[in-house]
Amino acid sequence: MQNKDTKKKIGILTSGGDAPGMNAAIRAVVRTATFHNIQVLGIRRGFEGLMTADFREMTAKDVSDIIHRGGTILRTARCEDMLTPNGPDKAAQVCQVLALDGLVVIGGDGSLNGAAQLARRGVNVYGIPATIDLDINYSEYTIGFDTAVNTGMDAVNKIRDTSGSHERCSVVEVMGRNCGQIALWCGMAGGAEDVMIPECNEQVMDASRLIRQIMENRGKGKHHNLILVAEGVAENFGDSEALAREIERITGIETRATILGHLQRGGAPTAADRMHAGMMGYKAVELFQNGVQNRVIVMKDGRYDHLDIFEALETEKPYNSRLYDIIKVLSI
Ligand code: F6P
C-alpha cells in the first residue's frame, strides 16, 4: 500500500456546455484512477471552480449510479476569465498549490483550449472531447453527439406526423451555432427535405434556394416538407419563426417552426456515448499512468487514439459537403 503523501494526484473538471455522457466519463476517470491508487480531486463548475479551488476528493463510490444520467455531477460553467491571461495564470497556480500531477478536462473546443493554456503554464493536462456539437477538428467523435442526435431525431419523427397530417412545411431548429453536424445527422436520420447549416455559405443569409425547392416539391406532389435548420443559420433570419413566416409568405404553404433548444443537451446518454465516455476516460488515466503528458484523447479512423494537445488544437478540418449532397439525393 502506497503512503498517502506519495500517492499521485489528479484533478478532474467538466467545462463549457454540458453533454450527455460527461458523467460516464467522470465515472471512468475516477474508477480507473482509483484502480491505480491515484487520488482524484473533483473540481466543481469547471475552470471557474478551479480558480477558487472549489473541489472535493472523489472515491469510486462517489461515481455510483451516474453512468446513465445526463448533465454533469461536477457542474459546469463557461468561464470568460480563461480567455484572458489572468485566468489561466490563476488556475495554473491553484493546480500547483493543490500539487496536481495531472488535470483531466472534459469539454468542447473552448474548454480544451483552456486546458492548453494551462499546459503552457506547466500543468500536465488530458483533454476528453465532450460536446453535443461534434465541432472539434481533431476528433471524429465528441461525447454527447449521439444522444443529442437521437433526441433530435425523435422530435423530428413526431413533427413529421403532424406536418404530414396538415400538409405543412415544418422548420425544425437544432443546436449548433458554428457547426451543422447535428442538423445534418438529424436531417439524414429524419428524412428531411433540406438542411440549412452554417458551413454552407450560400444558405447562411439567403433562403431563396430553399424556398424554390419547397415549391418544386409541391409540384412533384410532396404534401409536406421537413427542413432542419442549425441555430447558427436561423440567427441570420432573426430566428426560425421569422424564417418560417418568410417561407409561408412566399410559398403560401402553412409553415411552423419548432426550436428544440436545450432539450438536446439533456437526457440519458445513449449506449454509444457511454461506450466512448468509458473508453476515453479510461485512456486518459492510462496515459497519465504511463507518464505520457499533455494529450487529447481522440477518435481517429474509427479508433481511440491520443494527440499532443498543442498539435491537436492546430488541426484544421475543411467542410465536407458529402453528407449534405447525399441528403439532397435521398430527398427527391
Ligand atoms: O456547445 C454546445 C451548445 O449547445 C451549442 O450548440 C449552442 O450554440 C450552445 O452550446 C448554447 O450554449 P448555452 O447553453 O450557454 O446557451
Q: What is the DSSP string of 95-146?
A: HHHTT-SEEEEEE-HHHHHHHHHHHHTT--EEEEEB-TT---TT-S--BTHH
What is the model's pLDDT at position 205?
79
From 112, 133, 262, mutation site for ligand 1 pocket: most ligand atoms within 8 A of C-beta:
133
Interval 227-268: pLDDT, tens: 999 999 999 999 999 999 999 999 999 999 999 999 999 999
Residues with CB under 6 A from ligand 1: 17, 78, 108, 131-133, 175-177, 231, 265
Report which protein residue has its CA nearest ligand 1's atom 12: 17
CA distance 146 to 149: 5
Of 18, 62, 81, 133, which is the active-site residue? 133
Model confidence band, residue 171 (pLDDT cutoffs 50, 70, 90): very high
Average pLDDT on 183-189 reads: 98
Residue 49, CA distances (Å) to 15, 34, 129, 153, 281 in order:
10, 23, 20, 35, 21
Model confidence band, residue 204 (pLDDT cutoffs 50, 70, 90): confident
Using the mean position of ligand 1's atoms as its centre, give its distance from the Cα of residue 252 in Å: 33
Interval 19-62: pLDDT, tens: 999 999 999 999 999 999 999 999 999 999 999 999 999 999 99
Using the mean position of ligand 1's atoms as its centre, give its distance from the Cα of residue 175 in Å: 7
Model confidence band, residue 16 (pLDDT cutoffs 50, 70, 90): very high
What is the model's pLDDT at position 5?
58
Interval 69-85: pLDDT, tens: 999 999 999 999 999 99
Kindly give, in sequence order, each residue whose CB lies less than 8 Å from that of residue 61, ignoring residues fewer than 6 positions away. Answer: none
Per-residue pLDDT at 2 exceeds 60? no
What is the model's pLDDT at position 206?
86
Average pLDDT on 105-130 reads: 98
Model confidence band, residue 3 (pLDDT cutoffs 50, 70, 90): very low
CA distance 15 to 47: 7
What pTM value is reported for the model? 0.96
Model confidence band, residue 201 (pLDDT cutoffs 50, 70, 90): confident
Report which protein residue has its CA nearest ligand 1's atom 1: 17
CA distance 88 to 91: 5
Model confidence band, residue 14 (pLDDT cutoffs 50, 70, 90): very high
User: Strand 295-300 to strand 194-196: parallel, antiparallel, or no bridges (unpaired)?
Assistant: unpaired
CA angle 73, 293, 114 (to 5 degrees): 50
Average pLDDT, the chain: 96
Interval 138-150: pLDDT, tens: 999 999 999 999 9
Asked whether 19 and 176 are in contact (CB, 8 A), the reply is: no
Asked whether 33 and 101 are in contact (CB, 8 A), the reply is: no
Size of the chain in residues = 332
Check if 109 is active-site.
no
User: Strand 125-129 to strand 295-300: parallel, antiparallel, or no bridges (unpaired)?
Assistant: parallel
Percent of the chain with pLDDT over 70: 98
Helix or strand or coil: residue 169? strand
From 135, 177, 179, 229, mutation site for ligand 1 pocket: most ligand atoms within 8 A of C-beta:
177
Using the mean position of ligand 1's atoms as its centre, give its distance from the Cα of residue 107 in Å: 12
Report which protein residue has its CA nearest ligand 1's atom 13: 17
Per-residue pLDDT at 291 exceeds 80? yes
Average pLDDT on 192-219 reads: 91
Using the mean position of ligand 1's atoms as its centre, give its distance from the Cα of residue 38 in Å: 33
